[in-house]
Chain A
């Protein structure tokens, strides 16, 4: 028990303490910084069209340029094959990445946590049914299914894509939450709640959920990365939402218009961004792991 005394109380206190530990992790600091940069990019994506309509990522065409050019004072990263500004596309892509990543992750975690808790707590038939369902979904390759759906129904709206990602990605986290719930179920404080007369609903949401939520948040960071990659892959393969500018979409355009080896200023930025954002969320997740699991922390030296 020595050395793990939390000084401040409650969620806020736990958060502040967690923050202290998080700050000490190099991975956490780098990850968080990168994410903040991308967030700034996303916010800044609204600026270029306001400066001049020609900077609009989708529709903005430079009246004077109608082909791909390299970086210049006018277009800091150059233009794409239609004369649209690459930098504003990059910024818009950041916005899309966050939207897709965070919403898909959030939805799948919400689903996964609820289902996991209910399966773990109720046990028996409910548990078996839900977990068989999870198994079935888990073995289906998400990307393939989406591709099939797209080819059946044509191009999909970005939010449909988000929904599908969420629907296919909840099983993973539900298994983890379920086993966490199973082990919590036998803990004396749960029995104490039963003896006090608490309803199942109360026990699940008041007692089990708060103890399971940290794990959910951790998994959410991992889900963000996979959501972003799936969306990018879809867009790259031509199944993305044609009305949205994402990094995957940019890569698709580079490829399709044959500029892969001719325009590094166009090819590299979206590729690097995809890699970096997934890396940064991963680092965030790792740092959070240290916060959540006291055994991974390093104690101060006695000196």
Chain B
């Protein structure tokens, strides 16, 4: 049984102008110990998906359809009580701009301790402090720094502290939403390697959300490409990079330069993503797609199997 199975998940936001269909009919599975990268432009629905997996949708967000099967149980129907038992203990999250998630007036060690004691109230204090020290060793922060305040940490250290917080209660699944924005290149590289190392060492499963496919490639085995709320391509990273099928995936990959060889002009994708309050009936990428077929505009695309685990949502690609 896979650790996480998403089936036909659709999420919408209620806005002044109508229902915004942020996520539409997304399905994928994640095995225990696996790592998945969800990639797409801002507004493609990847963050919404991440929030839904933690039961953290804002009040005007709602799961319209589908299932979230975690360890066999459908989380969609969970009450707040049930979510509290799952959050941090089974599934935890590293948010975007996580560095600002640390309270500047409390010591970092205390904040991590608090995260533990909130979700494991039965743990005695001594054990909690030992666990904090263990976490620090795990993520590579010198243990002497436990008593320091956030402003005394460098950017990279703060990010490690956030990761430590996410790992505090031994979750099975971590959702990392753009965990390395605002970090310098070298620190980012160190953090990504750290995440990968921890994942392998602890057998964690990770869903890594980013707009940048190059970052995701460092950490994840599988890649899911999202566009305008839909999953448009999915597969093991090597398969997707070697043989991208969906025109959006191809266009996304073409936005990155090489370091060697001829300096060719990058060919970015023209145009803008569609309005998600009234999305087009057919393929949502149609008007930006260089290889659109005649029926693409009116007929919703269906999944085309490209390889044993590689599929693309496209009528015109095979």
Contacts and interface: CB of A to CB of B under 8 A. Distances in A.
Interface string B16-39: 110110000000000000000000
B17 A299 contact: no
A299 B60 CA distance: 7
B272 to A, nearest CB: 14
Contact of A3 (B12, B13, B19, B62): B13
B155 interface: no
Interface string A275-303: 00000000000000000000000011111
Given A300-B60, A302-B19, A302-B61, A2 B14 contact: no
A7 interface: yes
Contacts of A303: 14, 62
B20 to A, nearest CB: 8
A20 B61 CA distance: 22
Contact of A299 (B12, B14, B19): B14
User: Interface majority SS on A: helix, strand, loop or mixed?
Assistant: loop
A3 to B, nearest CB: 6
B308 interface: no
Contacts of A299: 14-16, 58-60
A302 B20 CA distance: 9
A20 B62 CA distance: 24
B11 to A, nearest CB: 9
Contacts of B62: 302-303
Contact residue range for chain A?
A: under 10
Interface string A8-51: 00000000000010000000000000000000000000000000
Contacts of B60: 3, 299-302
A73 to B, nearest CB: 51
Interface in B42-79: 58-62
A299 B19 CA distance: 12
B59 A2 contact: no
Contacts of A7: 17
Nearest to A303: B14
Contacts of B19: 302
A300 B16 contact: yes
Contact of A301 (B17, B20, B59): B59
A200 to B, nearest CB: 33
Interface string B77-120: 00000000000000000000000000000000000000000000
Contacts of A3: 13, 15-16, 60
Nearest to B16: A300
Contacts of B14: 299-303
A300 B14 CA distance: 6
A300 B16 CA distance: 6
A301 B15 CA distance: 8
Nearest to A301: B14
Contacts of B61: 302
B283 to A, nearest CB: 24
A257 to B, nearest CB: 56
B228 to A, nearest CB: 14
Interface string A111-147: 0000000000000000000000000000000000000
Interface in A40-91: none
A299 B15 CA distance: 7
A2 B13 CA distance: 9
Most A-side CB within 10 Å, residue of B58, B59, B60, B62: B60
B107 to A, nearest CB: 29
Contacts of B12: 302
A303 to B, nearest CB: 7
A95 to B, nearest CB: 39
Interface in B171-206: none
A20 B15 CA distance: 14
A63 B12 CA distance: 73
A206 to B, nearest CB: 30
A23 to B, nearest CB: 12
A302 B60 CA distance: 5
Contacts of B59: 299, 301
Nearest to B12: A302
Contact of A302 (B13, B16, B17): B13
Nearest to A2: B13
A300 B15 CA distance: 6
B226 to A, nearest CB: 16
Contacts of A300: 14-16, 60
Contacts of A20: 16
Contacts of A302: 12-14, 19, 60-62
Contacts of B20: 2
Interface of B: 12-17, 19-20, 58-62
29 contacts: A2-B13, A2-B20, A3-B13, A3-B15, A3-B16, A3-B60, A7-B17, A20-B16, A299-B14, A299-B15, A299-B16, A299-B58, A299-B59, A299-B60, A300-B14, A300-B15, A300-B16, A300-B60, A301-B14, A301-B59, A301-B60, A302-B12, A302-B13, A302-B14, A302-B19, A302-B60, A302-B61, A302-B62, A303-B62
Given A2-B13, A3-B60, A301-B59, 11 more contacts: A3-B13, A3-B15, A7-B17, A299-B14, A299-B16, A300-B14, A301-B14, A302-B13, A302-B60, A302-B61, A303-B14
The 3 closest A-B pairs by CB, nearest first: A302-B14, A302-B62, A299-B60
